[in-house]
Amino acid sequence: MKKIKIGILGCGTVGSAVDKLVHKNHALIHSRTGINLEVTKIADVSPRVHHPKLVRDAHRVTEDPDISIVVEAIGGEHPALEFVLSAIKHGKHIVTSNKELIALHGEQILRAAEEKGVMVRYEAAVGGGIPILGPLSHDLLANDITEVFGIVNGTTNYILSKMTRDGVEFAEALAEAQKLGYAEANPQKDIGGYDASYKAAILAGTAFGHLVNWKDVSFEGIAAVTQEDIRYAAEIGYVIKLLAVAKKAHGACEVHVHPTLVPKNHPLATVLGPMNAIYVKGNAVGELMFYGPGAGGMATASAVVGDIIAIANAKCQMTNARSKAMHVRSANETVSRYYIRLTAPDRHGVLAGIARAFADEKVSIAAVTQKETIGKTATIVIVIHQTREENLSKAIGRLKKMRVVRQVCNIMRVGI
Amino acid sequence: MKKIKIGILGCGTVGSAVDKLVHKNHALIHSRTGINLEVTKIADVSPRVHHPKLVRDAHRVTEDPDISIVVEAIGGEHPALEFVLSAIKHGKHIVTSNKELIALHGEQILRAAEEKGVMVRYEAAVGGGIPILGPLSHDLLANDITEVFGIVNGTTNYILSKMTRDGVEFAEALAEAQKLGYAEANPQKDIGGYDASYKAAILAGTAFGHLVNWKDVSFEGIAAVTQEDIRYAAEIGYVIKLLAVAKKAHGACEVHVHPTLVPKNHPLATVLGPMNAIYVKGNAVGELMFYGPGAGGMATASAVVGDIIAIANAKCQMTNARSKAMHVRSANETVSRYYIRLTAPDRHGVLAGIARAFADEKVSIAAVTQKETIGKTATIVIVIHQTREENLSKAIGRLKKMRVVRQVCNIMRVGI
């Protein structure tokens, strides 16, 4: 009977859920795996609850000779990085749900772990409770994975779902998300697309088996999405989702996060509220979807404790990104369809001028709708065919210089 | 560099796809795992193609001292069982996609493998290319899995999807499925619910960590589902799907396969054609869905070669069912809502009589609709509240004896 002692860094939502889950399912885990798990210490500088295992100094966890696995549940870059490196230095295996830490410092952490001969696992960093890095690292190894994409941030998905369903503006949906605990007091990491970009980098690295530098991930958040865009998108058969996308072709990849118009009948369009869903395309299996809760204490703890069991089994090391880095294409090198909403005076010749600006930059228009006129201003919604962002940017530059264009209100990607 | 020699039994759709996939993704698998896979022999008594690796005698594979992993891709009980046992006896690890073999003889095979110290993996036996047994055996080990259910047979799902979309009867949809290769010339294993029942037993065993005897699985197929049922179900907000269901409670489980009325807005309702989707409920993670191609050569080969790689890594042994068997509740012990379609003369007092028959057996009616009358016969569709099958059977027995009931046309479960 293996007795495995666990130390947890951080006693917030995730840390306390991990402690609770190890206790709750202890007998079941033991009967199925023969492993005897025990959380012996939880470190937190400002614990919100009293707990017999609580210590204030993280080093009492990272340096405890009895502890073999350290769960990092602090979040953010610092001091999580320093504590994790200290734990590795003291020979501990690491389990973390911290996407920012892995996306920004994964290479350094994995190198330190390799030198020390310890394991690092981070299933909970992407998709919360959904097993996705495990399947990509093991079950799907027979495949050349060419694409991974999906909804990986519950906060923004809740906000967009609410804007779509209730017809409210971004600010109101955000306030509601904060009230329900789906968004933090400072929601910038979620709504600015940072969180999704960290996850996109980790997904790409795991799926393609190469290091993907987070700095190469282009991303934007959802703060610019308006009720007007949601309505116009609906009219042409789409819903707006924040998608994380990683595609591989010809030895390089593209990794990006953008608000995207998703066809209404696509399964991703039906992923609502705080749920996550990740598509995987492989050259043998075809298309798979993994769907489940992307956040929440117990769901995240499910993945964390799954990683703990895998380490305790001393099997199933996650396929870490190879040291060889992969070229990530810049946004300028990638192609997409786009939705553009702009305003212009409601008079003849305007559309012709706009069409010419696109044509001059070899950007081809797929559909145009002139929407309701307010005063003398018309709203024009344009969907363009596959184009490089570079060409689009030049065309938009032309539009902005044209007298007949009042404002380019929003630009979003279209399709999956 | 590990060189792993593989022998394949059966050169049909799955066997030849495994050979093709090992060849196609050889370099990628090698670069990601360091494993060098090679298919050296394929045994088939009546090969449809010429192939340099083909041998006619399966024992040239099962007894080949150079082969370390044998892929069984013959299907069915015999001679697959004998060949697999022979391969185990000669120290080979086994990978199979054969649900019938595992559901009916899994215990014997696993015992033989354990004695010989070899591994047996069968990810492809459930959900085709979808990683489901792997996640249940590894990634989700922190959970008490309480339910697994879903659409696990592509043939019947194609037929039901076609009946729903095109308004055709069962016979026509089956003929179309056979034409497209989704159904075999002898489709009884699929349409009779056998295939789904094998998968249900394997899913339950893997999810609950206990042996589940296939003989305890109650099942029925889809041959009795008529266009009329599909239409009436649609009217009350449902689509009909063949669901495999495994639930655990109070130390026992129920495992069954039945045509079921699924609410239209449930994600399972949108799983069409030959696709599969499996829901998993765990006490930590909540609800997950795994979606993907449930059959097809390359999708199945993805799972088979994934198992080969896992064995070659000498890690990640699938959590085999514990020797302790689990009590499977009989259908009489389980409760469900039901849909009942019957015909009766169109005159007053009939409905009162029918309602009394249900009430006398403590079966409570949730909704009744009297449908169009043809001649003097009315069709009555009844949805009843949660009830034990035992009580339902008694009520149906009463109905059948009543003069005012012409025919009890169909009975199906309602809801997830």
pLDDT tens sequence across B245-276: 999 988 888 999 999 999 988 889 989 999 99
pLDDT digits (tens, 9 = 90+) for B342-361: 999 888 888 888 999 999 99
What is the DSSP secondary-structure string of B351-374? HHHHHHHHHHTTPPEEEEEEEEEE
Spatial contact of B126 and B133, defined as CB atoms under 8 Å apart: yes
- Which residues of A are known catalytic residues? 199
Task: Give A263 to chain B, closest Cα distance, Å.
Answer: 15
Amino acid in the structure at residue A390: E
Pick the residue from chain A with its C-alpha nearest to B145: A28
**Higher-scoring residue by pLDDT: B188, A185:** B188
ω before A187 within 30° of 0 (cis)?
no
One-letter amino acid identity for B61? V
Cα(A124)–Cα(A304) distance, integer angstroms: 6
Quote the CA–CA distance of A133 and A199 in Å, as a whole number: 11
Distance from C-alpha of B139 to C-alpha of B117, rounded to nearest angstrom: 24
Interchain CB distance below 8 Å, B299 and A284: yes
Residues of A in contact with B283 (CB under 8 A): 24-25
**Residue indicated by tokens 């003369």:** B345
Amino acid at B240: I
B139, B209, B287: residue with CB nearest A131 = B139
B65 contacts chain A (CB < 8 A): no
Kindly state the tokens that stand for B121: 């993996």
Question: With contact defined as beta carbons under 8 Å apart, do B77 and B104 qualify?
Answer: yes
| Residue B265 to chain A, least CA–CA distance (Å) | 10
Q: Whole-model pTM?
A: 0.89
> What's the rounded Cα separation, in Å, for the pair B331 and B399?
20
The type of residue at B378 is A
ipTM of the complex: 0.87
Tally of residues, chain B: 416
Alpha carbon distance B191, B214 (integer Å): 18
Instruction: Give the pLDDT score at B315.
Output: 45
* C-alpha closest to that of A135 among A59, A65, A206: A206
Report in angstroms the alpha-carbon separations of B136 from A97, A392, B42: 20, 46, 31
Domains, chain A, with CATH or none: 2-125 (3.40.50.720), 133-293 (3.30.360.10), 333-414 (3.30.70.260)
Give the burial string for A149-169 (b: 16+ CB within 10 Å, else e): bbbbbbbbbbbbbbbbeeebe
In the predicted model, what is the mean pLDDT of chain B?
A: 91
Contact A70/A304 with Cβ under 8 angstroms?
no
Cα separation of A194 and A178, whole Å?
18
How many percent of chain B have pLDDT more than 90? 74
Task: Find tokens 């696709």 and name the residue.
Answer: B275
Nearest CA in chain A to B139: A306
Q: What is the pLDDT along chain A (416 residues), one digit of tens a residue?
A: 568 999 999 999 999 999 999 999 999 999 998 999 999 999 999 877 788 899 999 999 999 999 999 999 999 999 999 999 999 999 999 999 999 999 999 999 999 999 999 999 999 999 999 999 999 999 999 999 999 999 999 999 999 999 999 999 999 999 999 999 888 888 999 999 999 999 999 999 999 988 888 999 999 999 999 999 999 999 889 999 999 999 998 888 899 999 999 999 888 998 999 999 999 999 999 999 999 999 899 999 999 999 999 999 874 444 444 446 677 777 777 788 999 999 998 888 888 889 999 999 999 998 888 876 777 888 899 999 999 988 999 999 999 999 889 999 999 988 87
